Structure 1
Amino acid sequence: MSDLGAVDLRRTAVVTIDLTNDFLHPEGAYGRAGQGTAEMAALPTRVRPVIDAVRAGGGIFVSVQFTLVPRPGGGHIIAPHLAKLRSFLKPGDFAPGSWGNKAVDLLQPADVEIEKIAYSAFYQTRMDHVLTALGIDTLVVAGIVTNGGVASTVRDAHMRGHRIILLSDGCAAFREEVHQATLVSLGSIVETVTAADFLARPEIAS
């Protein structure tokens, strides 16, 4: 059982990082390239009950979606290090509003969609504006990769004063040891809990 204190679900958002078709679906950008892991593919099934429980208590679901902005004349705007690291990415992958850019079907629909262009969901996005306007101060975070988009978003959320509950089995990295090391490194700024233990909280299970 988790040691979490009480969670005000009315002020809570489940935030998923990059649980999208281009990352997870077999026909998405990463799937076509043979990238991904079984652990990543299993995340939506674990996270969906958490979304449902938070919504039932008056909270919301925010889907954060990595986006590659199309370049006039063809191609897309992409950081040089990412272009080198993920050379399999093609024009149209992760395009704004595209099927690949959307959360996987199991997580649809999102209450709010945030398109991000870098690791953090807060960097040059409307994330701050939306959370403030909706009175959200607690974030239940899940997604991929633990050491990338998840860690960057969590650290930015911490700097903005949010309470962060990180679903330890709702996140994954390309290597399990990297995932576990990141959970340890974030331990001082988050409350870490499994999805099952979060769902067992009295304010949710009652």
Structure 2
Amino acid sequence: MREAGFDIARTGLLIVDLQNDFLHSDGAYGRAGQSAADIAALPERIKPLADALRAKGGWIVSTQFTLVPGKGGEPFISPHLKTLRPFLARGDFEPGAWGHQLVDTLQPADLTVEKVAYSAFFMSRLEYVLRRAGIDSLIVCGIVTNGGVASTVRDAHVRDFGVTVLSDGCAAFRSDVHETALADLSSIVSVRTCAQAMQLIEAA
């Protein structure tokens, strides 16, 4: 987030992968017992900031991890992901399905972009829609800090977007991994709490 001449209309809250299949108890990860309290707490923590940004004319951008269905509906799953998350199956993270959607707490998004890898910029239309919307500053939140968040933030940085990462608006499955990732990212982008980011929005 560029503080000098901070322009709400050119700012987007970039929500990384806060989807039903990741967070809801009936989603793919919930059914497999893959959950963490820090991750579950994110939507309610982020909601006031998202509402404030909406009210002031900023953008809400949701990036949504996607398993593209192939023949017979069987999803394309990268080998490393299949090894890491063997429970993933047909229908999980499927475009248009309930599990693929942004969690209700943070709806609606102004822009929604499917992602197929850690970085939301990889082989997606994210940069195109951000540029078309006139967005040059991003406030990034979501999961996981050391995966989708970190990869997306680094790609945004090299594309000359102003980036702020919300330290308590992101989470990982382990708090030490989360903290290490934030420390690494702080060398290239701004890291703020949700409360600190809210102050900037309210003052704009």
Displacement of 1:188: 1.5
Q: What is the CA–CA distance in structure 2 between the aligned matches of 1:96 and 1:147, rounded to whole Å?
A: 24
Give the aligned partner of residue 71 of structure 2: 72
Q: What is the CA–CA distance in structure 1 between the aligned matches of 2:140 and 2:71, rounded to whole Å?
A: 34
Of Structure 1 and Structure 2, which has the larger fraction of its residues in helix? 2
SS of the equivalent of 1:103 reads coil
Q: What is the CA–CA distance in structure 2 between the aligned matches of 1:133 and 1:190, rounded to whole Å?
A: 23
Give the aligned partner of residue 61 of structure 1: 60
Q: What is the CA–CA distance in structure 1 between the aligned matches of 2:170 and 2:152, rounded to whole Å?
A: 13
Q: What is the CA–CA distance in structure 1 between the aligned matches of 2:43 and 2:8, rounded to whole Å?
A: 20
Displacement of 1:5: 5.1
Q: What is the CA–CA distance in structure 1 between the aligned matches of 2:112 and 2:152, rounded to whole Å?
A: 15
**C-alpha contact 2:8 2:56 (8 A) present in aligned 1:** yes
Question: CA deviation digits over 1:109-133, x for unaligned, max 9?
Answer: 1111110000111011111110111
Number of residues of Structure 1 aligned to a counterpart in Structure 2: 203
Give the aligned partner of residue 143 of structure 1: 142
Identity %: 56
Displacement of 1:74: 3.7
Higher mean displacement: 53-62 or 146-155 = 53-62
Question: CA deviation digits over 1:125-166, x for unaligned, max 9?
Answer: 111110111110000000000000000000000010000010
- Calculate the TM-score normalised by the size of structure 1: 0.95
Map 1:126-141 to 2 at 5 A: 126-141=125-140
Give the aligned partner of residue 156 of structure 2: 157
Displacement of 1:54: 1.4
- Calculate the TM-score normalised by the size of structure 2: 0.96
For structure 2, list consecutive stretches of 5 or more residues without a partner in the other structure: none
Map 1:1-206 to 2 at 5 A: 7-201=6-200, 203-205=201-203
Q: CA RMSD in A?
A: 1.4
